[in-house]
Amino acid sequence: MSVYLEGVLALMGINILMALSVYAILTTDQLSLGNAGFMAIGAYTSAYLTVKSGVPLLPAILAGAIVSSIVGLLVAIPVLRLKGIYLVMATLGFGEIVRTFFMNFEPTGGAYGFRGPSGATLPLIYGWVLAALFFFWLLTRSRLGRSLDAVRDDPEVASTVGLHVTLLKIGAFGLGAFIAGAAGGLYAHYMFYIESNNFNFLVSAMAILFVILGGMETFWGAVVGAIIFSILPEALRFMKDWRLSLYGAVLVSMMIFRPSGILTRQMIRDLGEWFERIFRSARTEDA
Amino acid sequence: MLEILTVSKNFGGLIALDQVNLQLPPNKTYGLIGPNGAGKTTLFNLITGLLPVSGGAIHFQGQELTALPPHRITRLGIARTFQNIRLFPTMTVLENVLVAQNIHTRSGITSLFQFKAQGDRKLREEAETLLQQMGLWPKRKELSSSLAYGEQRRLEIARALALEPSLLLLDEPAAGMNEAESEELLDRIQEIRKMGKTVFLIEHDMSVVMGICDYISVLNFGKLIAQGTPDEIQANESVIEAYLGREEK
Amino acid sequence: MFLQQLINGLMLGSTYSLIAMGYTLVLGVLQMLNIAHGDVFMFGAFLGLTFALLGIPLYWALLLAMLGAGIISILVERFCFRPLRKAHFLGPLLSTIAFGILLQNVATQIWGSEPSRYPQTTEIAQFQLGPILISSIHIIILATSLFLMVAIDQLVKRTRMGRAMRATSENQTNASLLGVDIFWVFTFTFFASGAMAGVAGVLTALVYLQITPFIGIRQGLIGMVAMVIGGLGNLRGAMIGGILIGIMEVMNDAYLTAGYRDMIVFGLFFLFLIFKPEGLFGTTSRES
């Protein structure tokens, strides 16, 4: 595999994780504009552990993700009291605070960045991607997933059917932070060098755009959106420079004409039933 | 069972409820009536914890509800339906009922790893029973938002029953129903009562109220103006005056 | 020295005020957060640059940039706001994120991602006023900003359009029933907001002398912070918020390390949202 192709696939894997981190928080109808901040925390934490403390790669990335999710849970507690625009802006502010923090934090290089983390391979990255997909698959079929759906549909009514809405929202935030933190750790150890500007608002914005494109209703949408964004530049090589404009234009149009995104929940439901029918007919054929 | 002690609620300068006192012993059907804007739904919102009280206290089976969040109040055994039917629109009929059963079982992170647990089967059977009773089982895989109006009302009641409450609050359950449907509703409420549950309902449809309630309270402008049996209420001067000029079904 | 910094802060802050007032206008009248606003600001700066390079004198360049930015802002209204205004409030917000990225890319293709230098189009005179050194740049920026701020403030308070805007912000349906052409209000609000951003863009470029297609991100964010500190939907609050941040930034750079400057600004942003969401001067907009 060429180094170039490997690079594309590696970044695609990280993009999928970032998109899933946005989706995770979106499951309770909250929008986080600051996931780049969680990515940064995971990146710097894991990089520091491997480079300065000799911690092995996998535990370091896990540690980065855990630290990120703890910060996420702590931040969620005051932030989730806010509604609407205030919540969105608070997440935006958080992301910027983290970015500017790392720009000044000497132990991880400050403005000069952090050089050294390495060791992330495609199998490792996609191992995490598969684990995340498996987790979301389990979530969709579980009682917890149903609780999240209810909270997303109508948090007030959800509370009257006995669901602890605040806890669920905070948990969703922590989950998103964990995934973004893992993405950050993998990114740092693939790129060999990170600096605070790698985790700016645009990164958060792009992750959101992946989810909008692919579809906000299911986690597969986040995956599809990230894949399209990552692969398309290669397919559209001829308009390489203008592809961000294309994305922007496509997304603005999508919001107007198909706000649910490419994949809708109904599609996934139908797909699931179609599979079930095939398995059932295959089984009766055996009998 | 339910004690509403000198409860008041104001929104800024607007007094929605003014020192309402109500005692509801268990195992009866209670009605709450009054002109629009009298504060009936507000009272329900206070009981279920969706709004904080401005004064007074609410007790349920000895427990003080006034400072509790809605999900805790539900777990104590109070369920409600809403005036303008609030189902979970992106979830199927079955899912709407199943999610209400989450309080009876472990539904946190551990639930991800439970596929066909024992407890799960029992709950699914109960959900099926409820939906069969409401005549909604054939439509269980359809989105709740695609149901007809009457079916949505029944689903809301099914969902509330799935919570296994001891007190059921129904907010205008007969709204938008014709005579036949209202009759069916009366039967349903009788069945619910036979299960040993207490029912407290807000209604404008007098045939429903007078037909099924053991005891009726009347609110007007946030004040409790009368309480009594249906006969007493129908004869009550101030009640008639409050409704003067209003059209009734 | 301190007074000098104060003047510098005032100058910088007034550009922030213009951006903040643009945000506030759209948020107050239309209950929408226009994330593309910062990129409209950026486009205004580049338009000013282009006109200046064509030899057009500063004041005309300013006017043309103002118009250009206003028009781009109207595009945001047409594509991101109008078709989505009845849906979930996140819709327009997400759409403006995408539109902003589009604007950044277009600017990159037209002017390149490397910094572009602003040409010197006017003589820079300097005056000594006691201990303070004031340049004509200071005066231009302060005067233009002040003029615009007062103009918008008076427009909203006294004119018919202002009344229409206020009616629309209260309740779009009612305003329409009362005879207000709400679509004209939408267009005008976005135009005014963009125009202010455009002017701010040119003025900011005069301060920093070089611009990139990505300046909108930071300046836009600062404008948002100013809006929150002043109070969401509060025009005068946004004005003062911007100036306060400008002064604070300059003081920070002068007396503390410059590095932490942005962290303090965003930290304040976060703290205000959590503990004092109504801002310093109270919010007038409804909750979304």
For the stretch C208-238, pLDDT in tens is: 888 999 999 999 999 999 999 998 888 889 9
Q: What is the mean pLDDT of residues B77-95?
A: 91
Domain positions in chain A are 3-286
Q: What is the mean pLDDT of chain B?
A: 85
- pLDDT value at residue A287: 47
- Which residues, in sequence order, are bridge partners of residue C135? C126
Could you give phi then psi for residue B113, rounded to 5 degrees? -100, 10
How big is the CA angle at A258 (ends A252 and A261), to the nearest 5 degrees? 90
Burial of B43 (0-12, 13-18, 19+ CB in 10 A): buried
Contact B91 A150 (CB under 8 A): yes
- Whether residue B152 lies inside any domain: the answer is no
Contact present, A98 and A35 (Cβ < 8 Å): no
How far B62 CA sits from the closest chain A CA (Å)?
Answer: 20
d(CA B149, CA C19): 49
- pLDDT value at residue B249: 44
Contact C266 A93 (CB under 8 A): yes
Of the candidate CATH numbers 1.10.238, 2.40.390, 3.40.1350, 1.10.3470, the domain formed by A3-286 belongs to 1.10.3470
Contact present, A65 and A185 (Cβ < 8 Å): yes
Q: CB of A163 within 8 Å of any CB in chain B?
A: yes
d(CA C244, CA C247): 5
- pLDDT value at residue B88: 93
How far A200 CA sits from the closest chain B CA (Å)?
Answer: 32
Give residue-wise pLDDT tens across range C3-26. Answer: 888 888 898 999 999 999 999 999
User: What is the H or E stretch that residue C210 is in?
Assistant: strand C210-211
Per DSSP, the residues of A32-47 read: -S-HHHHHHHHHHHHH
Spatial neighbors of B222 by CB under 8 A, at least 6 apart, are B9, B15, B16, B17, B18, B20, B38, B39
Contact A163 B79 (CB under 8 A): no
Q: What is the mean pLDDT of residues C100-120?
A: 88
Residue A279: is its pLDDT beyond 50? Answer: yes
Those of residues 13-72 in B touching chain A at CB distance below 8 A are: 48-50, 69-71
> Which regions of chain A does DSSP assign to beta strands (E)?
114-115, 193-194
Nearest to A19 by CA among A261, A192, A268, A254: A261
Measured between CA atoms, the residue of chain B closest to residue A161 is B100
Contact A84 C287 (CB under 8 A): yes
Contact present, C266 and A102 (Cβ < 8 Å): no
Contact A89 C217 (CB under 8 A): no
Measured between CA atoms, the residue of chain B closest to residue A264 is B90
Residue with structure tokens 């045939």?
B207
Give residue-wise pLDDT tens across range C255-280. Answer: 777 778 888 999 999 999 999 888 88
Terminal Cα distance for chain B, rounded: 31
Measured between CA atoms, the residue of chain A closest to residue B143 is A266
Give residue-wise pLDDT tens across range B45-85. Answer: 999 999 988 888 899 888 888 889 999 999 999 999 998 88
Of the residues C270, C283, C288, the best mutation for testing chain A's interface (the one with the most A CB atoms within 10 Å of its CB) is C270
Residue B116 pLDDT level (bands cut at 50, 70, 90): low
> Which regions of chain B does DSSP assign to beta strands (E)?
2-11, 14-24, 29-33, 55-60, 63-64, 78-80, 167-171, 198-202, 215-220, 223-228
Contact C287 A100 (CB under 8 A): no
Q: CB of C227 within 8 Å of any CB in chain A?
A: no
Chain C residues inside the 8 Å CB shell of A89? 33, 224, 228, 269, 273
Contact B82 A157 (CB under 8 A): yes
How far C234 CA sits from the closest chain A CA (Å)?
Answer: 15
* A85 vs C225, C267, C288: nearest CB: C288
Residue B105 pLDDT level (bands cut at 50, 70, 90): confident
- pLDDT value at residue B2: 85
Share of chain A above pLDDT 90, in %: 61
Q: Give the number of other CB atoms < 10 A from CB of residue B191.
A: 12
- For the CA atoms of A237, A242, A244, A249, the dihedral, rounded to the nearest 10 degrees, stands at -120
Per DSSP, the residues of A84-101 read: HHHHHHHHHHHHHHHHHH
Q: What is the ipTM of this complex?
A: 0.88
What CA–CA distances, in Å, run from B85 to B149, B150, B165? 9, 10, 19
Measured between CA atoms, the residue of chain B closest to residue A164 is B71
Give residue-wise pLDDT tens across range A99-157. Answer: 999 998 888 888 888 988 888 889 999 999 999 999 999 898 888 999 999 999 999 99
Chain A residues inside the 8 Å CB shell of C102? 244-245, 247-249, 252
Chain C residues inside the 8 Å CB shell of A100? 260, 262-263, 266
Contact A161 B113 (CB under 8 A): no
Residue C287: is its pLDDT beyond 50? Answer: no
Nearest to C12 by CA among C212, C223, C153: C223
* A256 vs C27, C84, C266: nearest CB: C84
B31 SS3 class: strand
Residue A180 pLDDT level (bands cut at 50, 70, 90): very high
B9 SS3 class: strand
Q: Give the number of other CB atoms < 10 A from CB of residue A226.
A: 30
Contact A244 C105 (CB under 8 A): yes
Chain C residues inside the 8 Å CB shell of A113? none
Contact present, A15 and A226 (Cβ < 8 Å): yes
Residue B108: is its pLDDT beyond 80? Answer: no
d(CA B244, CA B247): 9
How far A91 CA sits from the closest chain B CA (Å)?
Answer: 25
Give residue-wise pLDDT tens across range B33-50. Answer: 888 877 889 999 999 999
Residue with structure tokens 């910027």?
A96
How far B138 CA sits from the closest chain A CA (Å)?
Answer: 17
Residue with structure tokens 């909750």?
C287
How big is the CA angle at A104 (ends A102 and A108), to the nearest 5 degrees? 55
**Domains held by chain B: number:** 1
Share of chain B above pLDDT 70, in %: 95
Q: Which amino acid, one-letter code, is at C57?
A: P
Q: Give the number of other CB atoms < 10 A from CB of residue B179.
A: 10
Chain B residues inside the 8 Å CB shell of A158? 88, 99
Q: What is the mean pLDDT of chain C?
A: 87
| Greatest mean pLDDT range, A171-185, B108-122, B229-243 | A171-185
How far B236 CA sits from the closest chain A CA (Å)?
Answer: 35
- Of the two residues B147 and C129, the one the predictor is more confident about is B147
How far A124 CA sits from the closest chain B CA (Å)?
Answer: 24
Nearest to B176 by CA among B152, B149, B145, B209: B149
How big is the CA angle at B158 (ends B156 and B161), to the nearest 5 degrees? 110
Residue B244 pLDDT level (bands cut at 50, 70, 90): low
Q: What is the mean pLDDT of chain A?
A: 90
Least confident of A63-67, A249-253, C25-29, C168-172: C168-172
Instruction: Name the residue range of residue B216's domain.
Output: 1-77+167-173+200-249
Burial of B247 (0-12, 13-18, 19+ CB in 10 A): exposed
Residue B3: is its pLDDT beyond 60? Answer: yes
Per DSSP, the residues of B100-142 read: HGGGGS--SGGGGG-SS-HHHHHHHHHHHHHHHHTT-GGGTTS
* B71 vs A135, A149, A163: nearest CB: A163
Residue B204: is its pLDDT beyond 50? Answer: yes
Q: Which amino acid, one-letter code, is at B243?
A: Y
Quote the DSSP letter at residue C85.
Answer: T
C61-80 as b/e: b if 16+ CB within 10 A: bbbbbbbbbbbbbbbbbebb
User: What is the H or E stretch that residue C9 is in?
Assistant: helix C2-30
Of the candidate CATH numbers 1.10.150, 1.10.3470, 2.60.40, 2.40.128, the domain formed by C2-275 belongs to 1.10.3470
Number of residue pairs across A and C with CB atoms under 8 Å? 129
Six token digits for residue C48: 């000013």
d(CA B103, CA C55): 73
Residue C288: is its pLDDT beyond 50? Answer: no
- pLDDT value at residue C57: 83
Alpha helices (runs of H) in A105-198, residue ranges in sequence order: 122-140, 143-153, 155-160, 165-191
Q: CB of B163 within 8 Å of any CB in chain A?
A: yes
Rounded CA Rg of chain B: 19
d(CA C156, CA C28): 11
- pLDDT value at residue A235: 72
- Output the domain CATH number for residue B47: 3.40.50.300
Measured between CA atoms, the residue of chain C closest to residue A81 is C274
For β-strands C132-135 and B2-11, DSSP reports them as unpaired
What CA–CA distances, in Å, run from B215 to A41, A174, B184? 61, 49, 21
How big is the CA angle at C214 (ends C211 and C218), to the nearest 5 degrees? 100
Contact A147 B102 (CB under 8 A): yes
Rounded CA Rg of chain A: 19
